[in-house]
Structure 1
Amino acid sequence: MTRAGTAPAVLLVVVGLACQEIGASFAVLLFPQVGPLGMVMLRLVFSAVILLAIARPSVRGRSRSDWTGVLLFGLVLVVMNGLFYLALERLPLGVTVTIEVLGPLTLSIIASRRASAWLWAGLALGGVAALGGGGWERLDPLGVLFALGAAASWAGYILASARVGRAFAKLDGLALAMAAGALLSLPFGIADAGSALLRLDLIAIGAAVAVLSSTIPYAFELIALRRLPAAAFAILMSLAPATAAIAGFVLLGQHLSWLEVVGIALVIAASIGAVRSSSRAARETAEPLA
């Protein structure tokens, strides 16, 4: 039964990745009107509304620690998305996502605790060097810093998500954290977007970005995780840089040099290797306890 559900689950992950990068491409097209922080606000607000309507989380009987976790998760969502969109304003989509992936990749390398982790770290470093396309001056330095900040925030997102996931059932914690993030983003988003928020067409596209970038991918990933081993799911998610590069080329006309393509491939290879290595380490640790 697990095998029968594997192919559809893989397809769900791939479609979710595609939706996510299409949403990011639409967001880039809105930057001239609403700005990157205005786009972050629209995405978080609409994502929060959708998730709250679906989850209808209970707020009673929660401890101070639970609410602290929700607020921290919401803050991480704001920072991660804000830095990601600020990087997208200055860098190609494929390059931005590749640098961002370094966050979870670093966590995987640390978790593996194997000698091979140094190989994957070196491969990732080579990929980052190749992303310069023969010269880092081709890439906006501030954009690279924003993308690195998004990478660190993604690692923080994984840890914050795990904490909230343990304290809240189903989608309750995510919905509440998204609502907290939406509230935190309001002053920055309103200041960046200004009067553009009065245009219904821009609001509608912002809602579409929220559905494409958050609602659909999360729902598909949740279904896929029930049918795929965690390691297989993580490997599929490692393909995000390639999906982003394709979306950037097709939808935004962003061309990459051959060295940048090699850099993306090296980071993907390092991600897959680190995931497989950490999975083996986890199995070896569990075996004596079996």
Structure 2
Amino acid sequence: MSKLPPGDLSLTAFAPIVWGSTYLVTTQFLPEDRPLLAATVRALPAGLLLMLVTQTRPHGIWWLRAVVLGGLNIGLFFFLLFVAAYELPGGVAALVMSVQPLFVLLLGAVLLGARIRASHVIACAMGALGVGLLVLRSEATLTTVGVLAGLGGALSMAAGIVLTKRWGRPPGTGLLGFTGVQLALGGALLLPAMVFFEGMPPKITGTNVAGFSYLAVVGALIAYTVWFRGIERLPALVVSFLGFFSPLTAAILGFVFLNQSLTVVQIAGAVLIVASIVVAQRAPSSSGRPPPRSAVPFSSGVN
């Protein structure tokens, strides 16, 4: 994975950096105890807007693939993420989900023909340890439901990354349209869970609207577009390691804006996270076969 384009790495890293701001925006701008509402509003409107503007819709086998990718990358992932966050206090959710690069490594070997190297395993261990040092607290507790949800969320996103890499985009389909379909279908999968478990808050304020707008435009429309672009251009394992910027950003923003502590141990964890990303992207290439192009495109424009 040597000599990866710095521009592609930086632009792809923008997505998890933005996602790291979600905790700050959620706690300061959104209604309390409405995580599924936040996730649905984050994905569904942005996806529908992109589909409308680009006039893109799936055809043939891509209906099934789009539902699978939208569920893995967004719908199922968000749902399990929030279950884990509620069940595992003290940053344990982030620690459990830090096994995602390991899942990408294993799935990449099976589905992409990628080679597993010792340096990749070392980088996975470094990243997980770094996240643990950054977010774990001594009073943190474990629950079976929380751990399973965290592992399921990590596996969901890992499978989404690998399958996006394997299937690619249908010929003639733009990146914005492809992103919009996944956001819309992922948001549609979240909508019933949001209605059943949470419902709508009694009042929506101007501050709430500002927070929802940020999550939808910056956190979904822009961030997922550059994220899927990165999956196309970079090795799947490298993309998964860039996700470690999310808890790192959350810790930094908490320190700057919420007066949260940042200890020497946490700083050491942050350094270890960055080191794991460097090790992953400098390791010898493990790329397998290139993703096939489907003969069945999305529909773009009015047919």
Q: How would you bin the TM-score normalised by the shorter chain?
A: 0.7 to 0.9
Hey, what does 2:297 align to over in structure 1? none
Q: Give the partner amino acid of 1:84.
A: L
Hey, what does 2:75 align to over in structure 1? 78
Asked if 1:240 is matched to 2:246, the reply is yes
By how many angstroms is 1:195 displaced? 3.7
Paired residue total? 274
- Cα-to-partner distance string for 1:97-147 (whole Å, 9 max, x where unaligned): 565343135424764422333433443454465457574x42564655544
Aligned pairs for 1:1-290 (under 5 A) are 12-13=11-12, 15-29=14-28, 33=32, 35-59=34-58, 62-63=59-60, 65-76=61-72, 77-89=74-86, 91=89, 97=94, 99-108=96-105, 111-124=114-127, 126-127=129-130, 130=133, 133=136, 135=138, 137-139=139-141, 141=143, 145-163=148-166, 165-167=168-170, 169-171=173-175, 172-196=177-201, 199=204, 201=206, 202-220=208-226, 234=239, 238-277=244-283, 279-282=284-287
Partners in 1 of 2:95 and 2:238 — Cα distance?
Answer: 18
Structure 2 gaps, min length 5: 291-303
Partners in 2 of 1:18 and 1:127 — Cα distance?
Answer: 16
Q: Give the partner amino acid of 2:156.
A: S
Partners in 2 of 1:113 and 1:183 — Cα distance?
Answer: 36
CA pair 281-189 structure 1, distance change in 2 beyond 3 A: closer
Q: Is the 8 Å Cα contact of residues 231 and 276 (structure 1) preserved in structure 2?
A: no
Structure 1 gaps, min length 5: 1-5
By how many angstroms is 1:223 displaced? 7.2
CA pair 74-230 structure 1, distance change in 2 beyond 3 A: closer
TM-score, normalization by structure 2:
0.69
Q: Is the 8 Å Cα contact of residues 22 and 247 (structure 1) preserved in structure 2?
A: yes
Partners in 1 of 2:224 and 2:271 — Cα distance?
Answer: 25
By how many angstroms is 1:257 displaced? 4.5
Please provide the CA RMSD for this pair: 4.0
Partners in 2 of 1:154 and 1:224 — Cα distance?
Answer: 14
CA pair 264-159 structure 1, distance change in 2 beyond 3 A: same
By how many angstroms is 1:187 displaced? 1.7
CA pair 125-247 structure 1, distance change in 2 beyond 3 A: closer
Q: Percent identity?
A: 23
Q: Is the 8 Å Cα contact of residues 127 and 276 (structure 2) preserved in structure 1?
A: yes
CA pair 223-69 structure 1, distance change in 2 beyond 3 A: closer
Which deviates more, 125-134 or 47-56?
A: 125-134
CA pair 91-167 structure 1, distance change in 2 beyond 3 A: farther
CA pair 70-231 structure 1, distance change in 2 beyond 3 A: closer
- Cα-to-partner distance string for 1:29-68 (whole Å, 9 max, x where unaligned): 4665352112111112222133223432044xx22x2211
TM-score, normalization by structure 1:
0.72
- Cα-to-partner distance string for 1:161-204 (whole Å, 9 max, x where unaligned): 23553336223333222222222211211234424176253345
2:261 aligned counterpart, secondary structure: coil
2:168 aligned counterpart, secondary structure: helix
By how many angstroms is 1:269 displaced? 2.6
